[in-house]
Each structure stands twice: as structure tokens, then as C-alpha cells.
Structure 1
Amino acid sequence: MTFFKPAFRHPDLPANKLGFTKKDYEGAISTLCAGCGHDSISAAIVQSCYELSLPPHRVAKLSGIGCSSKTPTYFLGNSHGFNSVHGRMPSVATGANLANRELTYIGVSGDGDSASIGMGQFAHVVRRNLNMMYVVENNGCYGLTKGQDSATADIGSKSKAGSVNPYEPIDLVGIALQLGATFVARSFSGDKEQLIPLIKAALSHQGFAFIDVVSPCVTFNNNVGSTKAYDYVRDHLDATSTVDFVPVHEEITTKYGEGQSQDVAMHDGSMVHLQKLHGDWDPSNRQSALNALADAKSKGDILTGLLYVDAESQELHETLETVPGALNELTEADLCPGSGALAKINASLR
């Protein structure tokens, strides 16, 4: 068995605005279980980066430990990558981002990696509003260690072994909203029509963009009684909106029929088009998103879509007033401005 993709591709594959084909955004062949929802998320990231015409060599992908954290191998094979230790991906992402603000950062984590051992790191990367897209591939179990319940497993959910989870789940979406995340969404790995526009919008957002993706584990958590199984999720989805993302260089149109719609302008002029389903939900109001989340939980539903976005957010570099550009591009004159600059700094401290 080989884990290498054949080099041959159809010579007439369509190219994006940079001249890249979708092949240029792919990675290695997946070694995850056949039917794993994580592979669908990888495919959605590939499609999103291709459609946005992101230069692959200007993307940095980071992860921790777990089935989810293996997936950066399976997309953007020509990009920078770093697989950190368990739960510590946010620290590595923060350091890399502060060193080079000009790259596009994609963090991939899991419910164990973020909601258990990495919870402290997750909380602080949210509140600092680091400019990155942070995706949690949420299956409610530890797939690498034979399917034990994770911290996001719903109370009453039954594992493949037959045990029932007695603990309240940690809702990373609710925590992200409470800690000040400036872009919060939830989706389902089996719904690419919703997931791809959300990823494109997250990649275009200036600030911390969090997407919690329910991604069923076909081996250990796809059984009757599991609230992370394919059948359960499909039966309990409750969407806030129909989502479409229009990059700034494309004509802005809408394909929605009757009903309310709302446009959210991003920093670069691109638009997120929303067809609102919840009458009392406002994507620019954090409390409205928290209320909608609580209402869905009381009904046993899984609320998906773009829950909240702050299109005017101030990301970490702006807060810290760092220098423009990457640190490795600073010249000697930038690093050693002379005695006059030192005297001015010393004077400001007196």
C-alpha cells in the first residue's frame, strides 16, 4: 500500500487567479479511518484556499496532538507546518505570528487537544485575539486511544463500549464567545456547502476566527446513542443562517429568495452574506449569539453557522503596536537606531 499521491494530474485542471490548481493545495494521502469527518474538513480547507487564491507558501499550518492534529499533513503540502506537543499549539502559533505577521495562520486542533490538556492555552489565544483561523475537529472522543469520552462529549451520550457520559460538556463555542473571540462559528463536517464559506470568511477575518466543526468518529463514536454520530447530528442541526462568502475581487450578488438577509463587510471589503433563520439572532451582537446558543442547547439542537463576527476587531499586533512586516526583514538601521533613540526611550522612563 502506498501513501503517496500520483504526480500525474489532468493537464487542463482549472487554475485560480494566481495560476495554481487545486492540486497545489493538496497534501499527502490520509491515513485516517475511511469515512472520517476530518478528511472532509481537510477537503474544505483545500477548496477554500484554492478559491481565495492564497499563495500556498504564505500559509503556516499548526497543530497539537490527536487524530485532528494529523490532518495538516493532508492539505497544503507546499505550506509551512509545525506539529507541536499536546495542547500547546496556541503558544507556537502566537510566537510564529508575532515573528511574521505577513503569513496566513491556520491552527487545527481537536476536542481533547483544546478542551482538556490545552484549555488554558486555548483561553489565552482567544482573549489575545491572535490573527489566525483556529479549527477544532470535534468528535467527542479520543480516537487515538480507543474512544474514551472527551471533555466535549454531551451528558447522557453513549460510547461504543456502552458507557454513558455523566458529565456536563465543555462548549468551546460558548467559551470563545465569552472570552471575546471576534469570529465564532460552528459547522458539520458533512455539510460542505456551509463549511467552505465559513472557512473562507474565517481566513479573511482580521483577528481570532474560531470554527468548531462537529466531525463524527466513524470507528469509536458513530454508534446509536452518541450525540456526535452522523445520524444524530443530521437530525439535530439548527442553522442560524444560510452562509455565502464573496471575496472583494468578485461581483457581489445574492442568491437568496424570500426572507431576511444581512451582509457583513470584512476588513478587505469582502462580504459575508447571511440568510437569517433565527428572528432574534444578530451576528454582530455577542449576547444575541450566546442567547441563541443557550436556546438551541435547551432543545437538544446543535446550532451551526456564523454565530458572531466583529468586522472591526483589533488583532494582537495592533494591540501591541508591533513593527510592520516580518522580524526577519528588519535591517540593521531598524534594529540599531542609534544613541538618539536610546536617549529618548530613557527620557520617557524618568
Structure 2
Amino acid sequence: MSYLKPLFSHPKLPKNKIGYTLKEYEGSLSTLCAGCGHDSISAAIVRACFELSIEPHRVAKISGIGCSSKTPTYFLGNSHGFNSVHGRMPSVATGANMANKEMVYFGVSGDGDSASIGMGQFVHVIRRNLNMVYVVMNNGCYGLTKGQDSATADQGSISKSGHVNPFQAIDLASLAIELGASFVAQSFSGDKQQLIPLLKAAIQHQGFAFLNVISPCVTFNNNPGSTKSYDYVREHIEATSVLDFVPHQEEIKTQYDEGKSTRVELHDGSEIQLNKLSMDWNPEDRVSVVSALQNAREKQEILTGLLYINTEWKDLHGTLNTTKTPLNRLKEEELCPGTEALNQINIGFR
């Protein structure tokens, strides 16, 4: 079987503002299991970057180890990529971001890569508010090692082997909010209508944007009794809002159902429009978000949509007051101030 994509394409494919077709944002053919939710997330990333007219060479994709961490191969094939070691993706992303802050950074991880071996790194990249999009493709199992329960598997869920999980799950969205993530959202791989606007908003957000996406494993965790299966998720989804992404300085016509709505402005002036469904939920109030997540958990529901956003907190570059020029563009005369300046600095420490 060949895994090479054909080089030809229809000459009249739609193009975005910078003249690229969707094909320029695709990657290699996926070798994941047919029907894997991860492929749907990859397709949503492709669509989001295409519609935002992001130049592929301005994107850096960084991942760890796992089924999810293979996916950067399957989207944005013309962008930069780095596959790191298990659980260490945040360190590599931090180093790259500090060197060149003008790139769009995608961190792709899984529930094992982030909630187990990489938990320490996950915690610290959040509290530093690194400017990146961090996507967890959450299937509740270790797909590369025959489907054992991961740390996000819900208590009482039943694996394909019939094993009942006795442990409480780590709720990554609640943890991200508690640790100070400035953008937190949850979605389902099978709901592109919700996922694509969330990805667009996450890309435009200046700070750490976390997306926890339930992505069923069709091979090891799509059975009756699993709380990460397609059937279970579809039956237990409770959306926070109907949302759309409103690009900066570009007219967009939308129509929303009756009910209260709000607009959240991002740093570049673009907005997220929310049609509020949960009356006790406010995306700018951490307390109400945590309460809404807890209430949904008690009802065995999966709360999806934009959960929390804060546009006031500085990202890591703002906190450290780094130079406006990316570090990788600074020349020797800018990096080395000279003997006299260094002597004055040393005197200040005496």
C-alpha cells in the first residue's frame, strides 16, 4: 500500500487571502486506525489555519510520544515540526518560543503524554503562560501499548478487556484553570462546527491556550461502558455556548438562537461571540467555570465549548520583558554590550 498523496489537484480549488488552497495546509496520509478521532482534530487544525490565512512556514508543531504525537505529520506539512521525547514537549516549545516569539506554536499531546509522564512539564508551562496552542487529544487510554487506562480514564469506565477503572480521573481542563491558563476550552473530535472556531480563537489568543479534546480510540476504547466512546460522548455532551469566531476588521454575518449573548475581545481586536446556554457560567469568571465543571461532572456530563478566557494576563515574554526583536534575530553588537557596559553591570552587584 502506498502512503503518498497525489501531487495534482483541481485547478479551481478555493483560495484564502494569501492565495493558498487547503491542500497547502495538509500533511502526509495518516497511518492511524481508520475512524480515529485524532484525524478529525488534524483536519480541524488544517481548516482553522487555512481560514485564518496563516502562512504555513510561520507555524511550529511540537509533540511528545503517543498516537496523538504522531499527528503533526498529518497536518501542515509545509510548516516546522519537532517530535520530542515522552512528556517533554513543553520544554522544547518553551525554548523555541523564547528564541522566536513571532511563530505560531502548536503543542500536540495526549492524555498519557500530559497527564502522566509529562504532568510536571504541563503544570509549569501553564503557570508561565507561554504563548502557544496546547491540544490534548484525550482518549482515556494508551493506544500504542494495547489500550491500558490512562490517568484521564473516568472512575467506573470499562475498558475493552472488561476491566473497571477504580481510580478518579485527572480533569485536565479544571487543572489548567486552577493553574492559571488564560484560555481553556473543551470539545469533541466529532464536532468540527465547535472545534474549528475554538482553534481559531486559541491561535489568536496571546498566552497559553489549552484545548482538551475528547477523541475516541476506535480500537481500544470505543466499547460499551467506556466514557470516551463515540456513543457515550454524543449522549452526554453539554455545550457552554454556541460560538463563532469573528475575524478582526472583517464583516461576518451570523444568526444566533434566542438567548443571552456576549462578545469576548482578543488581543488583536478579533472577537469570540458566545450565545450563552448555561445561565450560571461566565467565561471570564474562574469560580463560575470551576463550579459549572463540577456540576457537569456530578451529572456525568461533558461540558464543551469555551470554558475560561483572560485577556489581561501577560504571556511569558511580557512577564520577562524580553526584547521586541526575536532573540534569534539579534546580532553580536546587540547581544554583547561591550567592556564598559559590562563593568558598570558588575559594579552594580558589588
Deviation sequence 1:187-219 (CA, Å, 0-9, x none): 000000000000000000000000000000001
Aligned partner of 1:172 in structure 2 is: 172
| Aligned counterparts of 1:20 and 1:249: Cα–Cα separation in 2 | 21
Aligned partner of 1:62 in structure 2 is: 62
Paired-residue identity, %: 69
Aligned partner of 1:327 in structure 2 is: 327
Gapped regions of structure 2 (runs ≥ 5): none
| Aligned counterparts of 1:135 and 1:343: Cα–Cα separation in 2 | 46
Q: What's the offset of the Cα at 1:253?
A: 4.2
SS of 1:217 mapped into structure 2: coil
Aligned partner of 2:24 in structure 1 is: 24
| Aligned counterparts of 2:32 and 2:18: Cα–Cα separation in 1 | 31
Q: What's the offset of the Cα at 1:328?
A: 2.2
Deviation sequence 1:228-272 (CA, Å, 0-9, x none): 000000000011001110111311544213100000000000000
Aligned partner of 2:274 in structure 1 is: 274
Aligned partner of 1:41 in structure 2 is: 41
8 Å contact 1:26–1:77 — kept in the other structure?
Answer: yes
Could you tell me which amino acid in structure 2 is paired with residue 316 of structure 1? L
SS of 1:137 mapped into structure 2: strand
8 Å contact 1:254–1:273 — kept in the other structure?
Answer: no
Is 1:157 aligned to residue 157 of structure 2?
Answer: yes
Is 1:181 aligned to residue 181 of structure 2?
Answer: yes
Q: What's the offset of the Cα at 1:186?
A: 0.2
Aligned partner of 2:265 in structure 1 is: 265
Bigger mean CA deviation after superposition, 240-249 or 20-29: 240-249
SS of 1:106 mapped into structure 2: strand
Aligned partner of 1:127 in structure 2 is: 127
Could you tell me which amino acid in structure 2 is paired with residue 141 of structure 1? C
Bigger mean CA deviation after superposition, 220-229 or 312-321: 312-321
Q: What pairs up with 1:104-253 in 2 under 5 angstroms?
A: 104-253=104-253
Could you tell me which amino acid in structure 2 is paired with residue 108 of structure 1? V
Bigger mean CA deviation after superposition, 335-344 or 283-292: 335-344
> How many residue pairs align between the two structures?
350
Q: What's the offset of the Cα at 1:301?
A: 0.2
Q: What's the offset of the Cα at 1:333?
A: 1.9
Bigger mean CA deviation after superposition, 246-255 or 216-225: 246-255
Could you tell me which amino acid in structure 1 is paired with residue 2 of structure 2? T
Q: What's the offset of the Cα at 1:347?
A: 3.9
8 Å contact 1:293–1:303 — kept in the other structure?
Answer: yes
Bigger mean CA deviation after superposition, 330-339 or 95-104: 330-339
| Aligned counterparts of 1:338 and 1:255: Cα–Cα separation in 2 | 61
8 Å contact 1:182–1:313 — kept in the other structure?
Answer: yes
Bigger mean CA deviation after superposition, 280-289 or 43-52: 280-289
Q: What's the offset of the Cα at 1:348?
A: 3.4
SS of 2:200 mapped into structure 1: helix
Q: What's the offset of the Cα at 1:179?
A: 0.2
8 Å contact 1:110–1:136 — kept in the other structure?
Answer: yes
Q: What's the offset of the Cα at 1:338?
A: 2.1
Is 1:293 aligned to residue 293 of structure 2?
Answer: yes
Q: What's the offset of the Cα at 1:312?
A: 2.0
8 Å contact 1:237–1:302 — kept in the other structure?
Answer: yes
| Aligned counterparts of 1:282 and 1:164: Cα–Cα separation in 2 | 35
SS of 2:305 mapped into structure 1: strand
| Aligned counterparts of 1:140 and 1:300: Cα–Cα separation in 2 | 15
SS of 1:13 mapped into structure 2: coil
SS of 2:113 mapped into structure 1: helix
Q: What's the offset of the Cα at 1:37?
A: 0.2
Could you tell me which amino acid in structure 1 is paired with residue 138 of structure 2? N
Bigger mean CA deviation after superposition, 308-317 or 204-213: 308-317
Aligned partner of 1:98 in structure 2 is: 98
SS of 1:184 mapped into structure 2: strand
Is 1:82 aligned to residue 82 of structure 2?
Answer: yes
Gapped regions of structure 1 (runs ≥ 5): none
RMSD: 1.0
SS of 1:211 mapped into structure 2: strand
Q: What's the offset of the Cα at 1:339?
A: 3.1
| Aligned counterparts of 1:32 and 1:342: Cα–Cα separation in 2 | 55
| Aligned counterparts of 2:345 and 2:242: Cα–Cα separation in 1 | 52
Deviation sequence 1:287-339 (CA, Å, 0-9, x none): 11101000100100000000000122200011111122222211122112223
Could you tell me which amino acid in structure 2 is paired with residue 102 of structure 1? E
Aligned partner of 1:255 in structure 2 is: 255
Is 1:9 aligned to residue 17 of structure 2?
Answer: no
TM-score by length of 1: 0.98
